[in-house]
Structure 1
Amino acid sequence: MDVSGKVCVVTGAGRGLGRAYAEALAAAGAAVVVNDVDAEAAGGAAGAIRAAGGRAVAAPGAIGGAEVAERLVDTAVAEFGRLDVLVTNAGVLRDRVLWKMSDEDFDTVIEVHLRGTFACARAAAVRMREQGEGGRLILISSPAGQRGNFGQTNYAAAKAGVVAMARTWAMELARAGVTVNAVVPVAVTEMTRTIPAFAPYFQEAERTGEPLPGWLRRDEGMGTVEDVAGLIVYLASDASAGVTGQAIGVGGDRLALWSHPAEKSVAYAEGGWSAEAIARSWSTFEPETYGIPAPKAPAS
């Protein structure tokens, strides 16, 4: 997949998934602006790309407000002449159950994930519309935003909002030829290493040097950060010109299209519904599940 000539901004690209996205885009021919709140990490990632023969420049800064977002776009234009692709990957965690979550815990995560995605996408959209040649907004979401997750009120809300913004912006930017999609990645990162249900498998793989079990890669879609990067390159490429407004999951051996919310069951009552009528009819509905299911190893 060739993205030669394209210029990309990747936020939160100093390590983990973001770095894998930046390196894959550069390997496919793109010039990359590498952002991270950690200036040393951003510089290291950009340096590694250049050492491998790619084009990259570091642009450190904390994602959230308009100033940094606009600076990233300006850097892309100043260094490489244009902007074609934005990948909004930057994120933080402040996990707490509801009754222990502080205002600061909530606001910090919303600021980076939700407001940061908005600010970066707005700055990129302005530039792409001025260029008049289309573009790509690739917004990173999470399974927590699709299903909810214990202890992640802030993160789940932000990531659900990211998908909603992708669907909205896909409509608003269609005439400009800018596609907008949400990616729902699953991979072994510093964030996922601490999940109790997965930790034993990660530790065993690290101890033995063996890959993750095949069932984990297939059934749970859990793999390496490199397993996710191919989707980013595809969505950045001309081959994905007809793909917009979608939430696409990827990880391990698994590629998935998440459904849009839709009415699952419908009932009617002439004249409207009283509380008593709803109580009588509720048993005809099959409730939806919620939460991210724990992995289940196949019986040996």
Structure 2
Amino acid sequence: MDLHGKVAVVTGSGRGLGLGYARALAAAGAAVVVNDVDQDAVDAAVATLRSEGGAAVGAAAAVGDSAAAQELVDTAVREFGRLDVLVTNAGILRDRVLWKMTDDDFDDVVRVHLRGTFTCARAAAIRMREQGAGGRLVLIASPAGQRGNFGQTNYAAAKAGIVAMARTWAMELGRAGITVNAVVPVAATEMTRTIPAFAPVIEASERTGTPLPDWLRKGEGLGTVEDVAGLVTFLASDASKDVTGQAIGIGGDRLALWSHPKEKAVAYADGGWSSQAIAEEWAGGLGTDPETYGIPAPQAPEA
């Protein structure tokens, strides 16, 4: 993928997956605006990209407010003359079960993930439409938003909303040649290291320098940060000009297209449904094959 001449903003790219996306885009030729709330992380990431031959500048800002979003767009335009790609990766976690989650726990996560994606995408879309040359919005989602996850009311809701915004914006921005897609990544990061089934295998892989086993890379779709970055590069490129409104998963050796919600089964009753009729239908029809929920627990093979 040749991204020379393209300019990208990657939010939350001081470390982890965001840094992996920024490095991949720079390696493909894009000029990159690195963003993180931590100035030291921004400086270190910019230095890394430049040491690898990439063009990069930094913009330390807490994603969420409109002013921060505009600062990122303005930085891209001021330093590189335009904006072609936005990757909305910034996020935080405040995990707690429902009855222990505070208003601040909920609001902080939604502000960074959902509102931050909205404000940054809006600012980027305005600039891209003014330029008149199309563009790429790549929104980072999560399996938690697709299936739900214990202790992550705030995070799952925000990530589900991000996929819904991708579908909506794909319609609204299509005439301007701006594609919008959601990426659903799974990679060995600080967050996945907290999962008991994953932690010892990830630690062993890093300690010995050996690849993750097939049951993780294929069975669970879990790999390295580098494994997921190729999808972001593809979606930022001209090769993906006809791909929009999609939620695409990647991790380890697995690449997947997530289905959009749709009616799975339908029943009809002349004159409408009483509560008793619904109960009877549910017991013998619609409810006999209910949908699953939650991210399936990983299963390591027996020794």
TM-score of the superposed pair, with normalisation by structure 2 = 0.97
Cα separation, 2, equivalents of 1:268 and 1:204:
55
Q: Secondary structure at the match of 2:46?
A: helix
Cα separation, 1, equivalents of 2:302 and 2:98:
35
Q: List per-residue Cα deviations over 1:49-100 (Å, max 9, x = no partner).
A: 1111110001111000100100000000000000000000000000000000
Q: State the partner residue of 2:102.
A: 102
Q: State the partner residue of 2:144.
A: 144
Deviation at 1:197, TM superposition (A): 3.0
Cα separation, 2, equivalents of 1:16 and 1:88:
14
Deviation at 1:205, TM superposition (A): 2.1
Q: State the partner residue of 1:19.
A: 19
Q: Which letter maps to 1:138?
A: V
Q: Which letter maps to 1:217?
A: R
Residues 1:261 and 2:261 aligned together: yes
Deviation at 1:255, TM superposition (A): 0.2
Q: State the partner residue of 2:235.
A: 235
Deviation at 1:202, TM superposition (A): 1.7
CA contact (8 A) 2:197 2:300 kept: no
Q: Which letter maps to 1:108?
A: D
Q: Which letter maps to 2:33?
A: V
Q: State the partner residue of 1:209.
A: 209
Q: State the partner residue of 1:154.
A: 154
Deviation at 1:249, TM superposition (A): 0.2
Cα separation, 1, equivalents of 2:147 and 2:204:
28
Cα separation, 2, equivalents of 1:51 and 1:163:
34
Residues 1:289 and 2:292 aligned together: yes
Deviation at 1:18, TM superposition (A): 0.2
Cα separation, 2, equivalents of 1:209 and 1:240:
34
Q: Which letter maps to 2:18?
A: G
Deviation at 1:101, TM superposition (A): 0.3
Identity score, percent: 75
Cα separation, 1, equivalents of 2:147 and 2:198:
18
Q: Secondary structure at the match of 1:133?
A: coil
Cα separation, 2, equivalents of 1:196 and 1:68:
36
Q: Which residues of structure 2 form unaligned runs of 5+? A: none
Cα separation, 2, equivalents of 1:56 and 1:282:
57
Q: Which letter maps to 1:7?
A: V
Deviation at 1:25, TM superposition (A): 0.3
Deviation at 1:200, TM superposition (A): 2.6
Residues 1:220 and 2:220 aligned together: yes
TM-score of the superposed pair, with normalisation by structure 1 = 0.98
Q: List per-residue Cα deviations over 1:265-284 (Å, max 9, x = no partner).
A: 11111111111011111132
Q: State the partner residue of 2:46.
A: 46
Cα separation, 2, equivalents of 1:199 and 1:293:
16
CA contact (8 A) 2:197 2:299 kept: no
Show the 5 A alignment for 1:101-180.
101-180=101-180
Q: List per-residue Cα deviations over 1:110-163 (Å, max 9, x = no partner).
A: 000000000000000000000000000000000000000000000000000000
Q: List per-residue Cα deviations over 1:5-54 (Å, max 9, x = no partner).
A: 00000000000000000000000000000000111111111111111111
Q: Secondary structure at the match of 2:60?
A: coil
Deviation at 1:299, TM superposition (A): 4.6
Cα separation, 1, equivalents of 2:40 and 2:130:
33
Q: Which residues of structure 1 form unaligned runs of 5+? A: none
Q: Which letter maps to 1:12?
A: G
Cα separation, 2, equivalents of 1:209 and 1:178:
40
**Pairwise CA RMSD of aligned residues?**
0.9
Q: State the partner residue of 1:246.
A: 246
Deviation at 1:296, TM superposition (A): 1.6
Q: State the partner residue of 2:88.
A: 88
Between 238-247 and 203-212, the greater mean CA deviation after superposition: 203-212
Q: State the partner residue of 1:272.
A: 272
Deviation at 1:214, TM superposition (A): 1.1
Deviation at 1:211, TM superposition (A): 1.5
Cα separation, 1, equivalents of 2:282 and 2:199:
39
For these two proteins, the number of residue pairs brought into alignment is: 300
Q: Which letter maps to 2:203?
A: Q
Cα separation, 1, equivalents of 2:131 and 2:179:
15
Q: Which letter maps to 1:81?
A: G
